[in-house]
Amino acid sequence: MTRIHHLNCGTMCPRGRAWINGDGSVLADARIVCHVLLIELADRLVLVDTGFGRDDVANPRQLTRPFTALMRPRLNEADTAIAQVRAIGLDPADVRDVVLTHLDLDHAGGLPDFPNANVHLFADEYRAMRRPPLRERVRYRAGAAHWAHGPKWSPHELDGDHWLGFESIHVLPGADPEILLIPLRGHTLGHTAVAVQREGRWLLHCGDAYFHRDEVATPHSCPPALRLFQNVVQADGNLRHANQERLRELARRHGEEVELICSHDPVTLERAQRS
């Protein structure tokens, strides 16, 4: 049976918990996680995102001063994906594939720790990284240290497949379980969710398509600081809002067969780890 491990590969503690997590004091530190999936297949390990990596722990300056000042990451080598793979009793060399929702530095920071892995991403994100439009140059320059080693890129184009009304791409054809890219542009120009089939149901890792669990609820809501942050860092607001509404519709119509998670909600991570 396929095992899926829910890992936290980075914790950030910006100020203003009430405005970010939606509970506690405005003066308290918030908690933002980096929710990463480790999937055990019969012949390999697959990571969905990586969180922060060992190089980030050793050299926090590469995360850029604005990011570290605002997000206040708590960098610990034990939290890196490579350390957690070892702690589970698995061999990091068996991580043959990394599937990215997008290339932001808190999602792709661990790429140098898995230099031999194939790095799967939506082709639109790969093109944006290689030739970023003016408004997105800061985003990709901030993460450039994470692919300076020359990853084994595997960009994927749309090929006409669909999944529950969404365009989809088979990342590892023939793999059991199925792993799909589900393009959800908006946060970045090539942002995707990642769908993983398990025991007749689906787990949909939505990356940064939303930041708080209540954003895909009906009625939906979001703490004010998270709403502001998403508006500031989005590449295309119209697409992002439209895709959030599509995710809410997916949750309403297919909640029994699809579990939605996102990258940064600590409550969602804790629920997944318990179950």
Q: Measure CA 242 to chain center.
A: 19
Residue 152 has pLDDT above 90, yes or no: yes
Which of 107, 46, 55, 53 is CA-nearest to residue 81?
Answer: 53
Residue pair 198/2 in contact (Cβ under 8 Å)? The answer is yes
Domains of the chain: 3-274 (3.60.15.10)
Residue 199 has pLDDT above 90, yes or no: no
The helices-and-strands tally (H runs, E runs) of the chain is 10, 13
Say how many Å lie between the first and final Cα of the chain, rounded: 16
**Tokens representing 189?**
């120009």
- pLDDT tens-digit series, residues 63-112: 999 999 999 999 999 999 999 999 999 999 999 999 999 999 999 999 99
Task: Say how many C-beta atoms besides its own lie within 10 A of residue 72's C-beta.
Answer: 15
C-alpha to C-alpha distance for 141 and 63, rounded to whole angstroms? 10
Q: Is 153 exposed, middle or buried (0-12, 13-18, 19+ CB in 10 A)?
A: middle
Residue 199's region, left for phi above 0, alpha for psi from -120 to 50, else beta, is: left
Helix boundaries (H) for 32-149: 54-58, 65-71, 81-88, 105-108, 123-130, 137-142
Burial 78-107 (b: 16+ CB within 10 A, else e): ebbbbbbbeeeebebeebbbbbbbbbbbbb
- pLDDT tens-digit series, residues 19-28: 999 999 999 9
pLDDT of residue 79: 98
**Tokens representing 92?**
């990091």
- pLDDT tens-digit series, residues 171-184: 998 888 899 999 99
Residue pair 181/123 in contact (Cβ under 8 Å)? The answer is no
pLDDT of residue 1: 61
Which of 258, 145, 239 is CA-nearest to residue 192?
Answer: 239
Question: How far from 192 is each of 48, 189, 204, 222, CA to CA, in Å?
Answer: 11, 9, 10, 21
- pLDDT tens-digit series, residues 35-57: 999 999 999 999 999 999 999 99
Residue pair 126/155 in contact (Cβ under 8 Å)? The answer is yes
C-alpha to C-alpha distance for 260 and 248, rounded to whole angstroms? 10
Q: What is the pTM of this model?
A: 0.97
Residue pair 46/97 in contact (Cβ under 8 Å)? The answer is yes
